[in-house]
Structure 1
Amino acid sequence: MRLTLAAFVLLISFNSMAKDCVVLLHGLARSASAMETMQQALDAAGYHTVNVDYPSRKHAIEALVTMAIPPALAQCREQQSKQSDVIHFVTHSMGGILLRQYLQGNVIANLGRVVMMGPPNQGSQVVDNIKDIPGFKAFNGPAGMQLGTGEQDVPKQLGPVNFELGIIAGTSSINLILSNFLPNPDDGKVSVENTKVQGMCALVTVNVSHPFLMKRQKVIKQVLHFLAAGKFSGDNAQQFDCPAQKSPEAETI
């Protein structure tokens, strides 16, 4: 029998770390409202949530990082009880790049698990091919111009990850024009291959397109599963030998 999302959330909530905080970071040209369905599921599972809203189209990635992440961490710590001081992250698209950029020069005490949905961890060939088209910068802003695959683009400037990271990559596209610029499989904005990063702990592919990754029940179930268990479920899930899950500080279930 197939579990409904409500039943699955109830099941996961018994195993989740009660009152852990989860920071949600939306992607480029989005707002916090894009993460509301995910936030509701996390709240129902017993987590505190901080759904960050930041002006993704108005500033470069380096500036967006300082606008989004330190205030979110402060909110987490304000609302956490003595039961837990663990902080997890769930990100969509560019939100994952913001977190990696922040961790280049900062340490998050008691950083828990991170799930990135459709992250351009190696950049996107879509940006390479259309960033010079009139209107691209006006719509996507300075940050959008930084998400290509070149050595000077932000994703290629970031090193391996050293935290418990699970990546959810989409394999369905609703934009066949953009998919023409991408190696298959892809989600219309990022190829599965370019979501990967050295040090990741797990990867799962889902038949969902980029704009809907944070809203679909099958994705939400995988997010909850990784936060609780440090791995994904199902035939499409892969587990890797990642340093973060070997360290003494890493939590295992």
Structure 2
Amino acid sequence: MNYRIVLIHGFHRSYKDMESLEQNLKSLGYKVENLNFPLTFPDIKFSKEMLKKFLLDLKYGGMIEKEEIVLIGYGLGGKLIEETLKDEEVDGIVDKIILIAAPLRDSVVHRRLKRVFPLLDTIFKPLKVLGKGKKFEVKNPKIEIGVIIGTETEGIFSRWLGEFNDGLLNSKECMLDSAKDTLLIPLVHEEIHRKMGIAKYINNFISKGRFRID
């Protein structure tokens, strides 16, 4: 089976933040697309339309007939994947999703910062997808989902987050009941997607359906 991996960066970042993962996955033999989105100020709908167009170009270019499409979302990139896959036009294109340190519901840090800065979501519009009661959901049950969560804490926000956190998110905020496999690993939020070991775990999930192989 041939695979095409699509990398989706997080909030207030660019494709450059995913370059380490891109190179690590390429060294393992994968074809990788590292996309760039306006995930700082514009509404997330603009990024959604960009990702949708990319996926439709794959579909009508005939690529998905010979390749499995794997989306990897880091941080808020995970929510961008969710928002895009709600669109029925892209149904059936994506085969696997891997979420790395992704807030799948509202986060403690987001809620606390909004108390201090009420206009937070008005200025940084992509953060609106983290509203109260919003949980990650992908309707197509055929899509395999893997979740990678960091548990090595550091930074100024860690005191808000409980025992198991990556310095920005606690593990509960990243958990997904419908995930095929979940990997908890002692890495911090800022570094988890840059480690070669994570690329190897991703390779395991893509090829074997689980991150750790005995």
Measured against the shorter chain, the TM-score band is 0.7 to 0.9
CA contact (8 A) 1:122 1:196 kept: no
Once residues 56 and 73 of structure 2 are traced to their aligned partners in structure 1, the CA distance between those partners, rounded to angstroms, is 14
1:27-176 alignment to 2 at 5 Å? 27-71=10-54, 73-74=56-57, 78=61, 80=63, 84-106=66-88, 107-134=90-117, 137=120, 141-148=124-131, 150-151=132-133, 155-156=134-135, 158-159=136-137, 162=141, 163-175=143-155
Q: Which amino acid aligns with 1:89?
A: L
1:30: Cα distance to partner? 0.9
C-alpha root-mean-square deviation of aligned residues, in Å?
A: 2.7
1:28-70 CA distance string (max 9 Å, x none)? 0111011111111222333221111011012222332112342
1:111: Cα distance to partner? 2.1
Counterpart in 1 of 2:177? 198
Counterpart in 2 of 1:226? 205
Residue 224 and residue 67 in structure 1: after superposition, are their counterparts in 2 closer, same or farther (change >3 A)? same
Counterpart in 2 of 1:185? 164
Q: Which amino acid aligns with 2:83?
A: Q
Counterpart in 1 of 2:187? 208
TM-score by length of structure 1 reads 0.74
Higher mean C-alpha displacement, 111-120 vs 135-144 = 135-144
1:218: Cα distance to partner? 2.1
Residue 30 and residue 129 in structure 1: after superposition, are their counterparts in 2 closer, same or farther (change >3 A)? same
Count of aligned positions: 211
CA contact (8 A) 1:50 1:72 kept: no
Partner of 2:54, secondary structure, is helix
Unaligned runs of 5+ in 1: 1-16, 236-253
Q: Which amino acid aligns with 1:98?
A: L
Residue 77 and residue 212 in structure 1: after superposition, are their counterparts in 2 closer, same or farther (change >3 A)? farther
Q: Which amino acid aligns with 2:68?
A: V
Larger radius of gyration: 1
Partner of 1:86, secondary structure, is strand
Residue 172 and residue 64 in structure 1: after superposition, are their counterparts in 2 closer, same or farther (change >3 A)? same
CA contact (8 A) 1:29 1:140 kept: no
Residue 22 and residue 73 in structure 1: after superposition, are their counterparts in 2 closer, same or farther (change >3 A)? farther
Higher mean C-alpha displacement, 22-31 vs 135-144 = 135-144
CA contact (8 A) 1:52 1:72 kept: no
Query: Which consecutive segments of 4 or more residues in structure 1 shift more than 6 A?
Result: none
Residue 61 and residue 81 in structure 1: after superposition, are their counterparts in 2 closer, same or farther (change >3 A)? closer
Residue 79 and residue 198 in structure 1: after superposition, are their counterparts in 2 closer, same or farther (change >3 A)? same
Partner of 1:114, secondary structure, is strand
Counterpart in 2 of 1:9? none
Unaligned runs of 5+ in 2: none
